[in-house]
Structure 1
């Protein structure tokens, strides 16, 4: 496995953890985050979108990639743009060396 794949995996894990932490804000549960997550999952699974596979990190367990993708896309378009830009920068730097 290349160093690039480790870096992308670390970026994905951080994004997943930061998203999960948003469910509990100011001492109470965020139903808005739950709603966003539900829609993210619905879109990812319903459309068969798997970000992990798209960035070269295929997951061997069926549906796990789509579930993780749903969590990430529940953050919205600005986050996804920044997230994909970070992955793209990692890939460009890796190719340049």
Structure 2
């Protein structure tokens, strides 16, 4: 059952990360604001060693991948991160 839970969490994270990255290129041009937010967020998560996989106790074999993906998620801002936490928490509650 724990493996199914991890698959659900990774699915939510993958979709969220993809939706964030799609915002970088809009209407045929690069969105400088989104790129700036991505760069700043990734720098912050690297410097603070913030890794969502580590926080969720999910094994990751690629160094810095979790930190970079966390930076991408953080770049969306506090409302998005709050909504993501609610989704993940609901999945944890359903598991128990």
- TM-score, structure 1 length as denominator? 0.93
Q: Post-superposition shift, 1:58?
A: 2.6
- Inter-partner Cα distance in structure 1 for 2:28 and 2:57: 38
- Inter-partner Cα distance in structure 1 for 2:84 and 2:23: 17
Q: What is residue 62 of structure 1 aligned with on the other side?
A: 63
- Inter-partner Cα distance in structure 1 for 2:89 and 2:56: 9
- Is this contact kept in 2: 1:58–1:65, CA < 8 A? no
2:49 pairs with 1:48:
yes
The structure 1 segments of at least 4 consecutive aligned residues displaced by more than 3 Å after TM superposition are: none
Provide the secondary structure at the position in 2 that maps to 1:2: helix
Q: What is residue 19 of structure 1 aligned with on the other side?
A: 20
2:73 pairs with 1:72:
yes
- Inter-partner Cα distance in structure 1 for 2:21 and 2:59: 22
Q: Post-superposition shift, 1:20?
A: 0.8
Provide the secondary structure at the position in 2 that maps to 1:56: coil
Q: Post-superposition shift, 1:77?
A: 0.4
Q: What RMSD, in angstroms, separates the aligned Cα atoms of the two structures?
A: 1.0
Q: Which runs of 5+ in 1 are unaligned?
A: none
- Inter-partner Cα distance in structure 2 for 1:20 and 1:62: 20
